């Protein structure tokens, strides 16, 4: 897609070296936007930004920990310094640490909460401050998950954080709507990414139990995200879109 839907927009996308985040960053850039692409892995961030640039997209890389509050402010400052403003913040970075509830370690819980909740919360806060100062309006989006809606084996901690992000989006409607800032979430279901495809059975398993007959793609998720942060969705805020091919309507277990 190259329809210029994001011309004049400046976006931060975290966790965008691969997978869903990369596709979101790529599509915003190819539709005329400017993107600061973040990943904790320096090589992934650089490679991703270079790939988008080769496609004629305007994108720079900034590697660092998207859970760190000082680094989050650095991302916002860098976007403004490089591009003059910030209008879109997409908190895509997240971590999934499987483990049964009865034996789940405190270290794992803190890691999941720090990135999934703290990182998303403070990206929204620092981006909102900048957008308010600009008096430009803008969009914030959190990446949720179907595990924030339906219980999934060994993902109690992860699911808790994703449900929390959806409540955060609703809460921020009260605080940010007067500044013309929309806040929404997208909840992917099973999605084919570099990570999930490491499981040889993943694609077939989810195709079998998903009503639409296939696992989702990164393009499926990116399409929903781009709509919610686009000019076409300026009257949509505090909402969640589930992108799971109908799985959460039936919730057939993959186990």
Tokens representing residue 231 in the block: 């000019």
User: Is 158 marked active-site?
Assistant: yes
C-beta neighbour count of 194 within 10 angstroms:
11
User: Is 202 marked active-site?
Assistant: no
**Residue spans of beta strands (DSSP E) within 127-180:** 138-143
Catalytic residue (choose from 144, 145, 202, 230): 145
Question: Quick one: which H or E segment has residue 11?
Answer: strand 10-13
Is the separation of the CB atoms in 143 and 115 below 8 Å?
A: no
Rounded to an integer, what distance in angstroms lies between the CA atom of residue 178 and that of residue 115? 28
Is the separation of the CB atoms in 168 and 142 below 8 Å?
A: yes
Catalytic residue (choose from 144, 162, 202, 230): 162
Catalytic residue (choose from 26, 120, 158, 230): 158
Residues that are catalytic: 145, 158, 162
């Amino acid at each position: 897609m190259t329809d210029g839907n994001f011309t004049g927009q400046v976006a931060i996308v975290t966790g965008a070296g691969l997978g869903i985040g990369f596709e979101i960053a790529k599509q915003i850039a190819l539709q005329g936007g400017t993107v600061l692409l973040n990943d904790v892995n320096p090589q992934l961030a650089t490679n991703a930004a270079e790939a988008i640039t080769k496609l004629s997209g305007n994108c720079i890389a900034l590697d660092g920990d998207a859970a760190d509050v000082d680094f989050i402010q650095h991302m916002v400052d860098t976007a403004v310094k490089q591009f003059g403003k910030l209008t879109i913040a997409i908190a895509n970075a997240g971590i999934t640490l499987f483990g049964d509830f009865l034996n789940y370690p405190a270290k794992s819980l803190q890691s999941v909460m720090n990135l999934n909740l703290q990182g998303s919360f403070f990206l929204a806060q620092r981006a909102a401050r900048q957008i308010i100062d600009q008096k430009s309006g803008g969009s914030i989006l959190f990446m949720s998950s179907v595990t924030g809606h339906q219980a999934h084996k060994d993902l109690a901690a992860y699911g808790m954080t994703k449900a929390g992000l959806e409540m955060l989006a609703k809460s921020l409607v009260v605080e940010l709507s007067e500044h013309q800032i929309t806040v929404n979430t997208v909840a992917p279901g099973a999605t084919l990414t570099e990570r999930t495809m490491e499981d040889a059975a993943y694609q077939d398993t989810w195709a079998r139990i998903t009503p639409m007959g296939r696992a989702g793609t990164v393009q499926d998720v990116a399409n929903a995200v781009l709509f919610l942060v686009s000019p076409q969705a300026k009257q949509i805020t505090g909402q969640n879109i589930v992108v799971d091919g109908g799985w959460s309507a039936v919730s057939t277990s993959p186990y």
